[in-house]
Amino acid sequence: MNIIGMIPARLKSSRLPEKMLAKVNGKTLIEHVYLNARKASCLKELYVATDNVRIKKVIEAAGWKAIMTPASCRSGTERIREALKTIRVNMNDIIVNIQGDEPLLEHTLIDRAVRALINDKSCDAATLATPVTEKKDIEDTSVVKVVVDMGGNAMYFSRAAIPFNRDGVKTGNGAYLKHIGLYAYRKSVLDRWLKLGSAYEGIEKLEQLRMIENGCRIKVVTAKSRSIGIDTKEDLRKLVKILK
């Protein structure tokens, strides 16, 4: 079994155009993400799957691997599916989808997500979440929340505040979980991806709902994390401060 890391990276971004090539401390954002991800001990191979030659050139100039994919890919998962067509992948391999805009994701958490998937044969994928307690984060629609069952499997992801605290009761740490957008998939999930329908993916704009709606089990590894998504200029400024 091989464990292959894939970083989907498109150049166009609605909130922060060309953010993948934004320079932070002398390196582009996508380089920071790659350097961080390659620390994960579980990954045998690591690629950037992109639709832009400029990103490909940056990655290859650093001596790393990039795969060109169609601009028509509608999501990171679709981009990864396209990239896998160009390399040798076995049926029992695990593919790790690493977000191209989260350079602070702890590499140890990548290893933990993969380990969780390997250890639970009943699951089709694994992902990450971290507890949040701040009201502004719970109510922020850019912060994706997840609720899990007693076995730690995802029941639903939403941009809304879930669970909804109807009576305003005091909640303990862990009642609200912020989803961290990393996925470790069994290859069989990706093979079926385009055939899976979804009633909620288009409403929430969350592609992981497609898996849940079609009976796929997603193990959620809960851990403290400092990871942040880089979506605005303010996020870039925060990153500069943290990396100092």
Tokens representing 91 are 């049926």
Measured over the CA atoms of residue 199, residue 202, residue 208 and residue 210, the dihedral's sign is positive
* pLDDT above 80: residue 15: no
pLDDT, position 12: 81
Rounded mean pLDDT, 5-18: 87
CA distance 2 to 91: 10
In this prediction the pTM is: 0.94
| Pairing label, strands 145-148, 154-158 | antiparallel
| Residue range 181-206, pLDDT digits in tens | 999 999 999 999 999 999 999 999 99
Tokens representing 160 are 């809304």
Structural domain spans, the chain: 3-233
Residue type, 167: D
| Residue range 93-144, pLDDT digits in tens | 999 999 999 999 999 999 999 999 999 999 999 999 999 989 999 999 989 9
Residue 194: is it exposed, middle or buried by C-beta count within 10 angstroms (0-12/13-18/19+)?
exposed
SS3 of residue 98 by DSSP: coil
| Residue range 209-234, pLDDT digits in tens | 999 999 999 999 999 998 988 888 88
CA distance 76 to 49: 9
Say if CB 16 and CB 24 are below 8 A apart.
Answer: no
| Residue range 148-177, pLDDT digits in tens | 999 999 999 999 999 999 998 888 778 999
- What is the dotted CATH code of the domain comprising 3-233? 3.90.550.10
Short-list 225, 222, 48, 68, CA closest to 151: 222
46 confidence band (pLDDT: 50, 70, 90) = very high
